[in-house]
Structure 1
Amino acid sequence: MSRKQHTRNATGPQGPSQRQLRAGELIRHALVDVLREHGIHDEALAGVSITVTEVRLSPDLRHATCFVEPLGAGVKTAETAGQEPVIIKALNTHAKFLRGQLGRLIDMKYTPDLKFRHDESFEAASYMDRLMDDPRIRADLDRPTQSEDEPEAAEQDDGSQAAQGAVGSKED
Protein backbone atom coordinates (compact mmCIF):
# COMPACT_ATOMS: atom_id res chain seq x y z
CA MET A 1 0.00 0.00 0.00
CA SER A 2 1.13 3.49 -0.69
CA ARG A 3 1.84 5.97 2.06
CA LYS A 4 -1.19 8.09 1.14
CA GLN A 5 -3.56 5.21 1.78
CA HIS A 6 -2.21 4.76 5.30
CA THR A 7 -2.54 8.43 6.20
CA ARG A 8 -5.91 9.03 4.58
CA ASN A 9 -8.09 11.26 6.71
CA ALA A 10 -11.54 9.97 7.66
CA THR A 11 -13.14 13.20 6.54
CA GLY A 12 -11.13 13.56 3.35
CA PRO A 13 -12.54 14.09 -0.11
CA GLN A 14 -14.14 10.65 -0.14
CA GLY A 15 -15.59 10.96 3.37
CA PRO A 16 -15.94 8.10 5.81
CA SER A 17 -16.12 4.59 4.43
CA GLN A 18 -19.21 2.42 4.65
CA ARG A 19 -17.41 0.37 7.31
CA GLN A 20 -16.78 3.46 9.45
CA LEU A 21 -20.40 4.56 9.15
CA ARG A 22 -21.75 1.11 10.03
CA ALA A 23 -19.41 0.71 13.02
CA GLY A 24 -20.21 4.25 14.17
CA GLU A 25 -23.93 3.48 14.26
CA LEU A 26 -23.27 0.22 16.11
CA ILE A 27 -21.22 2.07 18.73
CA ARG A 28 -23.80 4.88 19.00
CA HIS A 29 -26.62 2.42 19.74
CA ALA A 30 -24.50 0.49 22.24
CA LEU A 31 -23.37 3.71 23.94
CA VAL A 32 -26.99 4.81 24.34
CA ASP A 33 -27.74 1.45 25.99
CA VAL A 34 -24.76 1.82 28.35
CA LEU A 35 -25.75 5.36 29.36
CA ARG A 36 -29.39 4.37 29.88
CA GLU A 37 -28.93 1.05 31.71
CA HIS A 38 -25.64 1.32 33.59
CA GLY A 39 -25.53 5.04 34.10
CA ILE A 40 -22.59 6.97 35.46
CA HIS A 41 -22.47 8.01 39.07
CA ASP A 42 -21.26 11.58 38.75
CA GLU A 43 -22.76 14.76 40.19
CA ALA A 44 -22.41 16.58 36.87
CA LEU A 45 -24.45 13.90 35.10
CA ALA A 46 -27.09 13.42 37.81
CA GLY A 47 -30.56 13.96 36.39
CA VAL A 48 -29.28 14.82 32.91
CA SER A 49 -30.48 12.90 29.88
CA ILE A 50 -27.83 12.73 27.18
CA THR A 51 -28.52 12.28 23.48
CA VAL A 52 -25.73 10.65 21.45
CA THR A 53 -26.25 12.22 18.04
CA GLU A 54 -23.32 10.81 16.07
CA VAL A 55 -20.19 8.70 16.43
CA ARG A 56 -17.32 9.24 13.98
CA LEU A 57 -14.58 6.64 13.76
CA SER A 58 -11.00 6.87 12.56
CA PRO A 59 -10.17 4.77 9.48
CA ASP A 60 -8.58 2.06 11.65
CA LEU A 61 -11.70 2.02 13.92
CA ARG A 62 -9.59 2.53 17.06
CA HIS A 63 -10.65 6.08 17.92
CA ALA A 64 -14.23 7.30 18.18
CA THR A 65 -15.45 10.85 18.54
CA CYS A 66 -18.89 10.83 20.11
CA PHE A 67 -21.06 13.90 19.59
CA VAL A 68 -23.51 14.39 22.44
CA GLU A 69 -26.21 16.87 23.34
CA PRO A 70 -27.87 17.16 26.75
CA LEU A 71 -31.57 16.52 26.24
CA GLY A 72 -33.46 19.79 26.26
CA ALA A 73 -30.30 21.83 25.79
CA GLY A 74 -31.64 23.22 22.51
CA VAL A 75 -33.63 25.70 24.61
CA LYS A 76 -31.10 27.85 26.42
CA THR A 77 -32.08 28.91 29.92
CA ALA A 78 -30.09 30.31 32.80
CA GLU A 79 -29.82 26.79 34.24
CA THR A 80 -28.49 25.12 31.07
CA ALA A 81 -26.30 27.99 29.81
CA GLY A 82 -22.95 26.65 31.06
CA GLN A 83 -23.94 23.02 31.45
CA GLU A 84 -22.49 21.54 28.23
CA PRO A 85 -18.78 21.92 29.08
CA VAL A 86 -19.34 20.32 32.49
CA ILE A 87 -21.21 17.37 30.98
CA ILE A 88 -18.62 16.84 28.24
CA LYS A 89 -15.81 16.98 30.79
CA ALA A 90 -17.60 14.42 32.99
CA LEU A 91 -18.17 12.08 30.03
CA ASN A 92 -14.51 12.35 29.00
CA THR A 93 -13.50 11.59 32.59
CA HIS A 94 -15.56 8.38 32.51
CA ALA A 95 -14.56 7.43 28.94
CA LYS A 96 -12.54 4.39 30.08
CA PHE A 97 -15.46 3.02 32.08
CA LEU A 98 -17.78 3.56 29.12
CA ARG A 99 -15.27 1.90 26.81
CA GLY A 100 -15.18 -1.17 29.07
CA GLN A 101 -18.97 -1.41 29.13
CA LEU A 102 -19.06 -0.87 25.37
CA GLY A 103 -16.60 -3.73 24.85
CA ARG A 104 -19.08 -6.13 26.46
CA LEU A 105 -21.89 -5.08 24.12
CA ILE A 106 -20.23 -4.84 20.70
CA ASP A 107 -18.45 -7.50 18.71
CA MET A 108 -15.44 -5.72 17.24
CA LYS A 109 -11.80 -6.69 17.19
CA TYR A 110 -10.88 -3.51 19.08
CA THR A 111 -13.09 -1.37 21.25
CA PRO A 112 -12.29 2.19 20.22
CA ASP A 113 -11.05 4.92 22.55
CA LEU A 114 -13.87 7.35 23.20
CA LYS A 115 -13.68 11.13 23.04
CA PHE A 116 -16.80 13.17 23.70
CA ARG A 117 -17.62 16.46 22.01
CA HIS A 118 -20.60 18.77 22.20
CA ASP A 119 -22.76 18.54 19.06
CA GLU A 120 -23.19 22.07 17.76
CA SER A 121 -25.41 21.15 14.81
CA PHE A 122 -28.60 21.87 16.79
CA GLU A 123 -27.34 25.35 17.66
CA ALA A 124 -26.38 25.97 14.03
CA ALA A 125 -29.82 24.83 12.86
CA SER A 126 -31.62 27.08 15.34
CA TYR A 127 -29.39 29.99 14.29
CA MET A 128 -30.34 29.40 10.64
CA ASP A 129 -34.02 29.25 11.61
CA ARG A 130 -33.69 32.57 13.44
CA LEU A 131 -32.00 34.07 10.38
CA MET A 132 -34.76 32.87 8.06
CA ASP A 133 -37.39 34.36 10.40
CA ASP A 134 -35.67 37.76 10.36
CA PRO A 135 -37.95 40.23 8.49
CA ARG A 136 -35.05 41.75 6.50
CA ILE A 137 -33.92 38.36 5.22
CA ARG A 138 -37.48 37.20 4.55
CA ALA A 139 -37.98 40.33 2.40
CA ASP A 140 -34.87 39.42 0.40
CA LEU A 141 -36.07 35.86 -0.07
CA ASP A 142 -39.55 36.93 -1.21
CA ARG A 143 -38.26 39.48 -3.75
CA PRO A 144 -37.72 38.06 -7.28
CA THR A 145 -34.12 38.16 -8.42
CA GLN A 146 -32.75 39.21 -11.80
CA SER A 147 -31.69 35.67 -12.60
CA GLU A 148 -35.34 34.59 -12.46
CA ASP A 149 -36.37 37.40 -14.87
CA GLU A 150 -33.48 36.93 -17.32
CA PRO A 151 -34.46 33.48 -18.67
CA GLU A 152 -37.86 34.84 -19.74
CA ALA A 153 -36.22 37.76 -21.52
CA ALA A 154 -33.72 35.42 -23.16
CA GLU A 155 -36.55 33.20 -24.41
CA GLN A 156 -38.32 36.20 -25.92
CA ASP A 157 -35.10 37.35 -27.60
CA ASP A 158 -34.48 33.88 -29.04
CA GLY A 159 -37.99 33.75 -30.46
CA SER A 160 -37.69 37.12 -32.16
CA GLN A 161 -34.23 36.31 -33.55
CA ALA A 162 -35.47 33.01 -34.93
CA ALA A 163 -38.37 34.79 -36.63
CA GLN A 164 -36.01 37.37 -38.12
CA GLY A 165 -33.66 34.63 -39.33
CA ALA A 166 -36.55 32.83 -40.99
CA VAL A 167 -37.67 36.02 -42.70
CA GLY A 168 -34.11 36.75 -43.81
CA SER A 169 -33.70 33.29 -45.33
CA LYS A 170 -36.87 33.64 -47.39
CA GLU A 171 -35.63 36.91 -48.86
CA ASP A 172 -32.36 35.33 -50.01
Structure 2
Amino acid sequence: MAKNNSYTGRGPSQRQLRVGELIRRTLSEVLARGDIHDPDLNRMSITVGEVRTSSDLKIATAYVLPLGGKGQDEVVQLLARNKSELRRIIGKKAGLKFAPDLRFQIDTTFDQMDNTRRMLEQDAVRRDIEQ
Protein backbone atom coordinates (compact mmCIF):
# COMPACT_ATOMS: atom_id res chain seq x y z
CA MET A 1 0.00 0.00 0.00
CA ALA A 2 1.30 3.46 -0.84
CA LYS A 3 1.86 5.99 1.88
CA ASN A 4 -0.99 8.32 2.77
CA ASN A 5 -2.12 10.61 -0.01
CA SER A 6 1.09 10.02 -1.99
CA TYR A 7 -0.94 9.78 -5.17
CA THR A 8 -2.37 13.27 -4.64
CA GLY A 9 0.88 14.89 -3.57
CA ARG A 10 -0.63 16.07 -0.29
CA GLY A 11 0.29 15.04 3.21
CA PRO A 12 -2.07 13.60 5.79
CA SER A 13 -4.98 15.73 7.00
CA GLN A 14 -5.18 17.19 10.51
CA ARG A 15 -7.80 14.57 11.33
CA GLN A 16 -5.52 11.73 10.16
CA LEU A 17 -2.65 13.14 12.24
CA ARG A 18 -4.84 13.57 15.32
CA VAL A 19 -6.36 10.07 15.11
CA GLY A 20 -2.94 8.53 14.36
CA GLU A 21 -1.40 10.17 17.43
CA LEU A 22 -4.35 9.13 19.60
CA ILE A 23 -3.95 5.52 18.45
CA ARG A 24 -0.16 5.69 18.96
CA ARG A 25 -0.49 6.90 22.56
CA THR A 26 -3.24 4.40 23.36
CA LEU A 27 -1.36 1.49 21.77
CA SER A 28 1.84 2.45 23.63
CA GLU A 29 -0.06 2.55 26.91
CA VAL A 30 -1.78 -0.79 26.30
CA LEU A 31 1.53 -2.48 25.42
CA ALA A 32 3.40 -0.91 28.36
CA ARG A 33 0.75 -2.02 30.83
CA GLY A 34 0.48 -5.53 29.44
CA ASP A 35 -3.29 -5.30 28.92
CA ILE A 36 -3.21 -8.04 26.27
CA HIS A 37 -3.98 -11.66 27.13
CA ASP A 38 -0.85 -12.92 25.35
CA PRO A 39 2.08 -13.56 27.72
CA ASP A 40 4.54 -13.67 24.79
CA LEU A 41 3.57 -10.13 23.80
CA ASN A 42 3.44 -8.87 27.39
CA ARG A 43 7.04 -9.91 28.08
CA MET A 44 8.32 -7.64 25.30
CA SER A 45 9.04 -3.94 25.54
CA ILE A 46 7.82 -2.31 22.33
CA THR A 47 8.17 1.27 21.14
CA VAL A 48 5.42 2.66 18.93
CA GLY A 49 7.11 5.43 16.95
CA GLU A 50 4.27 6.50 14.70
CA VAL A 51 0.80 5.50 13.53
CA ARG A 52 -0.33 6.51 10.06
CA THR A 53 -3.97 6.26 9.07
CA SER A 54 -5.50 5.91 5.63
CA SER A 55 -7.46 8.91 4.36
CA ASP A 56 -10.76 7.20 5.24
CA LEU A 57 -9.40 6.24 8.73
CA LYS A 58 -10.25 2.57 8.14
CA ILE A 59 -6.62 1.37 8.27
CA ALA A 60 -3.97 2.34 10.81
CA THR A 61 -0.37 1.28 10.29
CA ALA A 62 1.69 1.28 13.48
CA TYR A 63 5.45 1.57 13.12
CA VAL A 64 6.97 -0.38 16.01
CA LEU A 65 10.37 -1.44 17.28
CA PRO A 66 11.25 -3.83 20.10
CA LEU A 67 13.56 -2.50 22.79
CA GLY A 68 17.13 -3.06 21.64
CA GLY A 69 15.97 -3.82 18.10
CA LYS A 70 16.13 -7.60 18.56
CA GLY A 71 13.22 -9.87 17.68
CA GLN A 72 11.70 -7.56 15.09
CA ASP A 73 9.97 -10.31 13.09
CA GLU A 74 8.61 -11.86 16.28
CA VAL A 75 7.15 -8.52 17.43
CA VAL A 76 5.31 -7.96 14.15
CA GLN A 77 3.95 -11.53 14.24
CA LEU A 78 2.81 -11.23 17.87
CA LEU A 79 1.11 -7.90 17.25
CA ALA A 80 -0.60 -9.24 14.11
CA ARG A 81 -1.73 -12.32 16.06
CA ASN A 82 -3.33 -10.06 18.69
CA LYS A 83 -4.61 -7.32 16.40
CA SER A 84 -8.32 -7.99 16.97
CA GLU A 85 -7.91 -7.68 20.75
CA LEU A 86 -5.71 -4.59 20.31
CA ARG A 87 -8.26 -3.07 17.94
CA ARG A 88 -11.08 -3.64 20.42
CA ILE A 89 -9.11 -2.19 23.35
CA ILE A 90 -7.90 0.83 21.35
CA GLY A 91 -11.40 1.59 20.10
CA LYS A 92 -12.74 1.48 23.64
CA LYS A 93 -9.91 3.38 25.39
CA ALA A 94 -9.49 5.99 22.65
CA GLY A 95 -13.23 6.53 22.36
CA LEU A 96 -13.29 5.92 18.62
CA LYS A 97 -16.68 5.21 17.05
CA PHE A 98 -15.02 2.90 14.52
CA ALA A 99 -11.62 1.42 15.36
CA PRO A 100 -9.45 1.04 12.25
CA ASP A 101 -7.95 -2.22 11.06
CA LEU A 102 -4.46 -2.39 12.52
CA ARG A 103 -1.32 -3.17 10.55
CA PHE A 104 2.18 -3.36 11.96
CA GLN A 105 5.55 -2.58 10.41
CA ILE A 106 9.04 -2.19 11.78
CA ASP A 107 10.00 1.44 12.39
CA THR A 108 13.15 2.13 10.35
CA THR A 109 13.48 5.78 11.41
CA PHE A 110 16.42 5.08 13.70
CA ASP A 111 18.26 3.17 10.97
CA GLN A 112 17.72 6.08 8.58
CA MET A 113 19.06 8.54 11.16
CA ASP A 114 22.15 6.38 11.72
CA ASN A 115 22.77 6.17 7.96
CA THR A 116 22.42 9.95 7.62
CA ARG A 117 24.78 10.53 10.54
CA ARG A 118 27.39 8.17 9.00
CA MET A 119 27.04 9.89 5.65
CA LEU A 120 27.53 13.33 7.20
CA GLU A 121 30.69 12.13 8.96
CA GLN A 122 32.38 11.18 5.67
CA ASP A 123 35.28 13.48 4.74
CA ALA A 124 33.99 14.18 1.22
CA VAL A 125 30.55 15.12 2.49
CA ARG A 126 31.96 17.25 5.30
CA ARG A 127 34.11 19.16 2.76
CA ASP A 128 31.05 19.80 0.58
CA ILE A 129 29.01 21.04 3.53
CA GLU A 130 31.73 23.37 4.75
CA GLN A 131 32.16 25.05 1.34
Q: Does the alignment reach a TM-score above 0.5?
A: yes
- 2:113 match: 125
Q: Percent identity?
A: 38
Query: Aligned match of 1:68 in 57, 64, 72?
Result: 64
Query: Aligned match of 2:26 in 7, 18, 30?
Result: 30
- 1:157 match: none
- 1:134 match: 122
The change in CA–CA distance for 1:31 and 1:61 in structure 2 (over 3 A counts) is same
1:46 CA drift (Å): 5.5
Any unmatched runs of 5+ in structure 1?
A: 1-8, 74-79, 145-172
Aligned pairs for 1:47-66 (under 5 A) are: 47-66=43-62
1:127 CA drift (Å): 0.5
Aligned pairs for 1:101-112 (under 5 A) are: 101-112=89-100
Q: Does 1:19 align with 2:19?
A: no
1:139 CA drift (Å): 3.0
Could you tell me which amino acid in structure 1 is paired with residue 28 of structure 2?
V
Q: Are the equivalent residues in 2 in contact too, given 1:10–1:57 (CA < 8 A)?
A: no
- Relative to the length of structure 2, the TM-score reads 0.85
SS in structure 2 of the partner of residue 51 of structure 1: strand
Aligned Cα root-mean-square deviation (Å)? 1.8
Any unmatched runs of 5+ in structure 2?
A: none
Stretch of structure 1 that moved more, 114-123 or 84-93: 84-93
Q: Are the equivalent residues in 2 in contact too, given 1:51–1:69 (CA < 8 A)?
A: yes
Query: Aligned match of 1:93 in 67, 70, 81?
Result: 81
- Relative to the length of structure 1, the TM-score reads 0.66
1:48 CA drift (Å): 2.5
**Rg larger for:** 1
Q: Are the equivalent residues in 2 in contact too, given 1:131–1:137 (CA < 8 A)?
A: yes
More strand by share: 2
Stretch of structure 1 that moved more, 56-65 or 45-54: 45-54
Could you tell me which amino acid in structure 2 is paired with residue 120 of structure 1?
T
SS in structure 2 of the partner of residue 15 of structure 1: coil
Matched residues in 1 for 2:36 and 2:47: separation? Answer: 13
- 1:5 match: none
Q: Deviations over 1:78-112 (max 9, x none)?
A: xx2xx212211211111111111112202222011
